[in-house]
A and B are shown apart, each in its own frame.
Chain A
Amino acid sequence: MSDPTPFSPSAQPSDGPAEGPLTGVGSGSGADSVPTERLADYLDAGREPYDPLIEDDPECLAQLLALERLRALSSELVESDVATAPAPDPSWIASVMDRVRLESRTGRDIPLASPDVRSTLHITEGAVRSLVREAGDAVPGAVVISCGLAGDVGVVDAPIRVDVAVSVVYGADLRRVAELVREAVSEALARQTEIVVESLDVTVRDVHLEAREAGL
């Protein structure tokens, strides 16, 4: 038992504040042959690959099981912390969201043709993305994940490539939903912006389960 094991981390340089020799880490645990660090790493790795030095030593195994139990108890502790935490104060959420809205992401300005040469009109990139999200979300079974606008959006009539990623509800016809999203987004952009759409790609990037009914 006194032989140094290949798992001893004592060869590692200790470049932090004085922590004492790491070989002393296992002292007192009753499992001196393999330091606790090593046991914890082995546990993190899901006890793979099988390590006979740990698994076949009763003391190591006992400490390993104690660490496993501690971990399970720790998750339980966190769950209990979360379950018994006071519900968030509505005014707390409101004040966070107020600050968030102050820092809204408008993105680039996209010009709109103006009947009056002395003024310019713009729609923000953020507003266009919001429009795309709304149009895509309105298709049953689709949730928009992201919307990219590539091209020189700051220039009137510049061709823009629109990339929409969606999540589609499990069980739906992916191709059909993607096509409906494409139509809905295309129609919304044509109706509410002057963007020259060079291409409009819809990618199904995820599949999700149906949201629970009854608005709970």
Chain B
Amino acid sequence: MSIDLTEAADGTLASRAAEGDERAFEVLLRRHLGLMTAYATRLTSSRADASDAVQEASITIWRELPGLQTPDAVRGWMMTIVSRKAFDLIRRRRPAADVDELEVPSTDGAHDDPERRAQSSDAMVALRQALDRLPAAQRRVWTMREVGGESYADIAERTGSSVTAVRGQLARARESLTREMEAWR
């Protein structure tokens, strides 16, 4: 009779998975899969790509868990691996293009899902549309910060730029977004 791990703390699951407990890993993965998928979908602008990126990320998470120094912070660490894999995928899709210049149409499904549209508040609809209008590079930086909760240093590493540049892009994204929200309100 196996113990129920569904209520176990993230840190407990991460430590157990690091020592080879596959069941603990599965509970951890299921717990954060929704967020991982939402994050990858926003970064890649594609459900199919997001599914691939999250799958790659999941295996990498399992592989690298023994090296994780702070098991309690596993969720944020998992998110950085998701964005790493999402960026790998974006680069692979368009090897010739500069990732920062890549313009991927946003297809987050908001337009074809009436239930979702009804659930969203009007302000959120406005935010979705404002995000769609951002340049892709700004949108990704904003997503890594606000959805992934990643550090400026991690974002700079992923996008191949500097912390200063990341902060600048983030500020411009926030300005555009607040301006549009204000106009809408």
Assess whether A206 is in contact with B162, with CB atoms less than 8 Å apart. no
Report the separation of the CA atoms of residues A205 and B79 in the bound assembly, to the nearest whole angstrom: 25
Identify B182's interface contact among A66, A81, A106, A215, CB under 8 A: A66
Assess whether A106 is in contact with B20, with CB atoms less than 8 Å apart. yes
Identify A84's interface contact among B20, B59, B62, B113, CB under 8 A: B113
**Chain A interface residue bracket vs B:** 35 or more
Assess whether B59 is in contact with A100, with CB atoms less than 8 Å apart. yes
Residues in chain B near residue A165, CB distance under 8 A: 15
Residues in chain A near residue B147, CB distance under 8 A: 74, 78
Residues in chain B near residue A104, CB distance under 8 A: 20, 22
Identify A16's interface contact among B29, B62, B120, B161, CB under 8 A: B161
CB closest residue in chain B, given A25: B171
Identify the interface centre among B16, B25, B168: most chain A CB within 10 Å of its CB: B168
Residues in chain A near residue B25, CB distance under 8 A: 100
CB closest residue in chain B, given A139: B3
Tell me the B84-136 residues at the A interface (CB within 8 Å): 100, 108-109, 113, 115-116, 119-121, 123-124, 127-128
Residues in chain B near residue A25, CB distance under 8 A: 168, 171-172, 175
Identify B161's interface contact among A17, A80, A92, CB under 8 A: A17
Residues in chain A near residue B51, CB distance under 8 A: 92
Tell me the A33-92 residues at the B interface (CB within 8 Å): 35-37, 40, 63, 66-67, 69-71, 73-74, 76-78, 80-86, 88, 92
Report the separation of the CA atoms of residues A212 and B8 in the bound assembly, to the nearest whole angstrom: 11
Assess whether B175 is in contact with A80, with CB atoms less than 8 Å apart. no
**A182 proximal to B (CB < 8 A):** no
Assess whether A146 is in contact with B20, with CB atoms less than 8 Å apart. no
* A122-158 contact mask (Cβ, 8 Å, vs B): 1 or 0: 0000100110011001100001111100000000000
Residues in chain B near residue A40, CB distance under 8 A: 170-171, 174
**A117 proximal to B (CB < 8 A):** no
Assess whether A81 is in contact with B108, with CB atoms less than 8 Å apart. yes
**A211 proximal to B (CB < 8 A):** yes
Q: Which residues of B contact A (CB under 8 A)?
A: 1-9, 11-12, 15-16, 18-22, 25-26, 29-30, 33-35, 37-38, 41-42, 47, 51, 55, 58-59, 62-63, 66, 100, 108-109, 113, 115-116, 119-121, 123-124, 127-128, 146-147, 156, 161-162, 164-172, 174-175, 177-179, 181-182
Top 8 closest pairs, chain A to chain B, by CB: A16-B165, A16-B162, A81-B38, A105-B20, A211-B7, A82-B34, A137-B3, A66-B178
* Extra inter-chain contacts (13) besides given A71-B146, A74-B127, A80-B116, CB under 8 Å: A16-B164, A19-B169, A25-B172, A73-B123, A73-B127, A76-B121, A82-B35, A88-B37, A93-B30, A100-B62, A138-B1, A145-B11, A206-B12
User: Can you list 27 A-B pairs with a CB-CB distance of less than 8 A?
Assistant: A13-B164, A14-B168, A16-B161, A16-B164, A16-B166, A20-B168, A22-B167, A29-B179, A37-B168, A70-B174, A73-B124, A76-B124, A77-B127, A80-B120, A80-B124, A88-B37, A92-B55, A93-B26, A100-B25, A100-B58, A104-B22, A130-B20, A133-B16, A165-B15, A208-B7, A211-B4, A211-B7
